[in-house]
C-alpha cells in the first residue's frame, strides 16, 4: 500500500471507501460509459448505453435490453483485484467500517468484504417482477429459463428482472441511508476509481465531515481541492500490497 495512504489509515479509526467503475476495470470489467463502450453500443444497437439501460427501454424493448445486458454487463470470469483484497483486509483489521460502491459485480463481497452498500444493485441478484421470487445469475443466463433473451419465473411465469438500478429508477432508500450514515460517521473517506460525475451517487461525498479525504483516480475530479491527499494513479497499485 502507498505509504501516504497507510499513514492516514494508521491514524484513523473509522475508514470508509467509496468506489466507482475504475475499481472494476482493473478486474477486466470494462466501463460501459467509456468511449469504447459507447462506440460498441451505438454501432451494434444504434443506441447509447444509458438509453438501453433505462427503465423505459427495459419496458418497451425487453428483448434487446437483455441481449445488451447479458453481453455487456455480465463478466462471470472476473476476479477481485488488489484493491478489493486490500479493502477486505482493512475491514478484517477493524479499520474499514464500510464500502460504498457504484459497481454491480459483487467483487467486493467475493474478496471477503462484509459491509458493502451497493448503490446500483447487483447482477448477482434477480427477482420476478410479479411474485418477487429471487434468482441467481446462473438462472437468468440459462437459455432454458428464457423466452428468447428474456428470463421467466419458474413459479409464476413472470419476467425476472436484474436487481440493478436502471436509469430513471430511484436508488434504494435503505442502501442510501446506510451509505450516508457510514460516510457521515467516518473520520477518513477514501474515494477511488470514480470521476465523481454520476449523480446522485457522487453527491454522497458531501456528507463527509471527517478529517481526511483521500482521492485516488487516474484523472482529476471536481473535488480535488477539498482533499487531504490526491493521487492520480491506479487504485489497485495504490491500495495493493
Cα–Cα distance, 107 to 118 (Å, whole number): 11
Q: Which three cell numbers stand for residue 232?
A: 492520480
What are the CA-CA distances from residue 217 to residues 73, 189, 237, 238 (Å)? 22, 14, 11, 10
- Judge contact between 100 and 178, C-beta under 8 A: no
Beta strands in the chain (DSSP E): 15-19, 96-101, 116-118, 121-128, 134-135, 146-147, 150-151, 160-164, 188-192, 212-216, 229-231
Cα–Cα distance, 160 to 146 (Å, whole number): 9
In the residue annotation, 120 being an active-site residue is answered as yes
- Whether omega for the bond prior to residue 200 falls within 30 degrees of 0, making it cis, is yes
Cα–Cα distance, 147 to 81 (Å, whole number): 35
Catalytic-labelled residue, pool 61, 84, 108, 120: 120
The candidate with the shortest Cα–Cα distance to 193, out of 111, 99, 128, 129, is 99
The helix/strand/coil state of 235 is helix
Which residue numbers are catalytic?
120
Amino acid at each position: 500500500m502507498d505509504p501516504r495512504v497507510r499513514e492516514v489509515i494508521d491514524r484513523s479509526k473509522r475508514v470508509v471507501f467509496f468506489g466507482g467503475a475504475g475499481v472494476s476495470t482493473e478486474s477486466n470489467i470494462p466501463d460501459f460509459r467509456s468511449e469504447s463502450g459507447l462506440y460498441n453500443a451505438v454501432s451494434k444497437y444504434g443506441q447509447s448505453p444509458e438509453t438501453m439501460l433505462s427503465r423505459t427501454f427495459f419496458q418497451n424493448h425487453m428483448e434487446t435490453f437483455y441481449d445488451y445486458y447479458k453481453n455487456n454487463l455480465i463478466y462471470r470470469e472476473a476476479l477481485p483485484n488488489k484493491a478489493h483484497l486490500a479493502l477486505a483486509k482493512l475491514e478484517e483489521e477493524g479499520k474499514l467500517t464500510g464500502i460504498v460502491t457504484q459497481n454491480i459485480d459483487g467483487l467486493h463481497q467475493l474478496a471477503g468484504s462484509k459491509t458493502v452498500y451497493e448503490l446500483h444493485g447487483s447482477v448477482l441478484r434477480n427477482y420476478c417482477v410479479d411474485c418477487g421470487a429471487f434468482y441467481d445469475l446462473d438462472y437468468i443466463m440459462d437459455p432454458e429459463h428464457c423466452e428468447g433473451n428474456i428470463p421467466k419465473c419458474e413459479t409464476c411465469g413472470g419476467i425476472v428482472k436484474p436487481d440493478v438500478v436502471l436509469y430513471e429508477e430511484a436508488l434504494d432508500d435503505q442502501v442510501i441511508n446506510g451509505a450516508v450514515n457510514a460516510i457521515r460517521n467516518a473520520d477518513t473517506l477514501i474515494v477511488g476509481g470514480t470521476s465523481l460525475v454520476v449523480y446522485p451517487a457522487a453527491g454522497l461525498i458531501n456528507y463527509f465531515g471527517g478529517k481526511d479525504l483521500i482521492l485516488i483516480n487516474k484523472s482529476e475530479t471536481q473535488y480535488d481541492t477539498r482533499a487531504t491527499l490526491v493521487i492520480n494513479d491506479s487504485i489497485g497499485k495504490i491500495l495493493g500490497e
